Amino acid sequence: MKVMIPAWVGDTLEPVEKLEVHQRGLRHKAISVFIMAGRDVLLQQRALGKYHTPGLWTNSCCTHPHWDEAPLTCALRRMEEEMGITGIDLSYRGRVEYRATVGNGLIEHEVVDIYVGEASHDLDFTLNPDEVKDAIWMDIDALQREAMRRPERFTPWLHIYLENHRDKIFGRDDS
């Protein structure tokens, strides 16, 4: 089954097949979710069968909305589908745009609505093995240091979020 996602073709937003969007590097809609427990963020390791960036660590959830799907609806749906997480309120943190090469001749050029949810470390989740290989909690400062030390372990968009949008997503650390 082909998945159609909202992408700009010229100046028009149109439904375009997901793989084609990435092959052509078309600008398209996306969501990213960060689940936090205090200063710890829940990271997922992408499943090894993913067609780009398999096995890399990234934020709690990220995907593309279906055609005519609201971003918040998409974020809640994919949190359940990928991580088995329900019942968490998400706060909207704004929109960012980025373009990154993700391997295999594919490009992510995303206009991303970002959401953050608060949870506790004992959050109950069940990973969908088709989407997620593993999940861990990591302190945001430790994550930033590890991403700088071993960049090949993390998705390109997570690097962009940490380097360019950390305050917008996580707030400023004035301690």
- The answer to whether the beta carbons of residues 69 and 78 sit under 8 Å apart is no
Eight-class DSSP state of 111? E
Residue 82 designated active-site: no
Residue 61 designated active-site: no
Helix (H/G/I), strand (E/B), else coil: 55: coil
Dist. CA 55–CA 52, nearest whole Å:
9
3-state secondary structure string across 32-45: EEEEEECCEEEEEE
Phi and psi at 174, nearest 5°, equal -100, 10
- The answer to whether the beta carbons of residues 148 and 50 sit under 8 Å apart is no
Helix (H/G/I), strand (E/B), else coil: 84: coil
Options 61, 62, 74, 82, the catalytic residue = 62
Options 61, 82, 108, 110, the catalytic residue = 110
Report the largest interatomic distance among the alpha carbons of the chain, rounded to a whole angstrom. Answer: 49
Helix (H/G/I), strand (E/B), else coil: 128: coil
- Which positions are catalytic? 62, 110
